[in-house]
Structure 1
Amino acid sequence: MIAGIHHAQITIPSGKEEEARAFYCGLLGLEEMDKPESLKGRGGFWLHTGNADLHIGTEEGVDRYQTKAHIAYEVNDVRYWKEHLEKHGTNILQSIAIPGYDRFECRDPFGNRVEMIQVL
C-alpha cells in the first residue's frame, strides 16, 4: 500500500540556489528544512510544503521549459496567488479548465512549471 507522497523533486542549474530560495522561500513563502549532511555536497536544498516536502536538486543540460512535468500547489485563495505572482513579475499562464477547480500555471525562474490550484 502506498501511504502518500513523501516528497517531490525538481531541479535547478548548479549554483542557482540563492535565486531559487528567493522564489520558493521569498515569493512562495515555503520553509527551508535541514538537508542531511550526507547530501549537502550535492547542492540544492529541501522545503516543507504542507503535507509533503519539496527537494530542490541541481542538474545540468535540462530544458525545463519543454516539459509538462510540474507540481500543483493546493491553495485556499488562487486569486491571491495569481495577483501576488503577477505583482512580482511572474508571467501567468492560463490552464485548461477542470470542473470543481480554479487554477493557473506559471514557470519558476529556471523554467520549472508551477501550478496553483484551488478546490471550489
Structure 2
Amino acid sequence: MIIGLHHVQITIPNGAEEEGRRFYCHILGLPEIEKPDSLKGRGGFWIKVGNKDVHIGTEDGFNRLHTKAHIAYEVEDISYWKNTLADIGISILDSVPIPNFKRFEFRDPFGNRVEMIQRV
C-alpha cells in the first residue's frame, strides 16, 4: 500500500548548484535542508516545500525544454508569484484552466517546467 509522497527530484546541469540555490532558495524562498553524508558527493542539494522534500540533482545531456514533466507548487497568492517572477525576467505561460484553481507555468533558469497553483 502506498501511504504518501516522500519527495520529488528535479535536475539541473552539473555544476549549477549555486545558480540553483539563488533561484530556489533566495527567489522562491524555499529552505535548503542538509543531505545525508552518504549523498553529499553526488552533487545537487535538497529543499523543503511544506512537509515534503524536493531533491535537486545534477544531470547533463538532457533537454529540459522538451518535456511535460514538471513540479507544481501550491501557493496562497498566485498574483504575487506571477508578478515576482515576471519582474526578474521569467516568461509566464498561461495554463489550461482547471476547475477550482488558478495556475500558470514557467521554466526555471535550467529549463525545468514549473507550475504555480492556487485553490479558489
Structure 1 segments, 4+ long, off by >2 Å, are none
Q: What is the CA–CA distance in structure 2 between the aligned matches of 1:4 and 1:75, rounded to whole Å?
A: 20
Per-residue CA deviation, residues 66-89 of structure 1 (Å, 9 max, x unaligned), is: 000001000011111100111111
TM-score (norm 1): 0.98
Extract unaligned runs of 5+ from structure 1: none
Is the aligned partner of 1:78 residue 2:78? Answer: yes
Amino acid paired to 1:79: S
Question: CA-atom RMSD, angstroms?
Answer: 0.6
For residue 52 of structure 1, report the CA deviation from its aligned partner.
1.1
Q: What is the CA–CA distance in structure 2 between the aligned matches of 1:4 and 1:80, rounded to whole Å?
A: 29
Q: Which residue of 1 aligns with 2:11?
A: 11
SS in 2 for 1:41: helix
For residue 51 of structure 1, report the CA deviation from its aligned partner.
2.4
For these two proteins, the number of residue pairs brought into alignment is: 120
Extract unaligned runs of 5+ from structure 2: none
TM-score (norm 2): 0.98
Q: What is the CA–CA distance in structure 2 between the aligned matches of 1:52 and 1:68, rounded to whole Å?
A: 22
